[in-house]
Amino acid sequence: MILGESDYRTPPGAGGEEMFRALKFRKIPTVMVRFPNESHELSRSGQPWHRIERLQNIVGWFDHWLMGVPKPEYEVAPEQEVPAKKGNLPGKQPTPP
């Protein structure tokens, strides 16, 4: 997902962030890239380095999912790599401080 933080037509809070979190929760490989000070016109009138980065993200996604190029940023982290908060483990009650 590519979002401009100053996009007033479809602001990040209008569903993009929620969709990202829902996909991550369901362990669906998802990446969100947010561009500061960019609007809905990012691809046409955004800052040049943001337009380049946007295209690099799009090409990287296609390289990974269509060409099979390994890109760890598009994978879901294995369970053992996701840190759990102390006291929030299933079946355990948090210990008082």
Residue 84 falls inside a structural domain: no
pLDDT at residue number 9: 84
Residue 89 falls inside a structural domain: no
Residue 68 falls inside a structural domain: yes
What's the sign of the alpha-carbon dihedral 12, 18, 24, 30? Answer: negative
- What pTM did the predictor assign? 0.69
Longest Cα separation, the chain: 54
Residue 41 falls inside a structural domain: yes
If one compares 24 and 77, the residue with the highest pLDDT of the two is 24
Quote the domain boundaries for residue 65: 2-77
Residue 35 falls inside a structural domain: yes
Domain count, the chain: 1
DSSP state string for 37-69:
T--TTHHHHS-HHHHHHHHHHHHHHHHHHHH--
Residue 48 falls inside a structural domain: yes
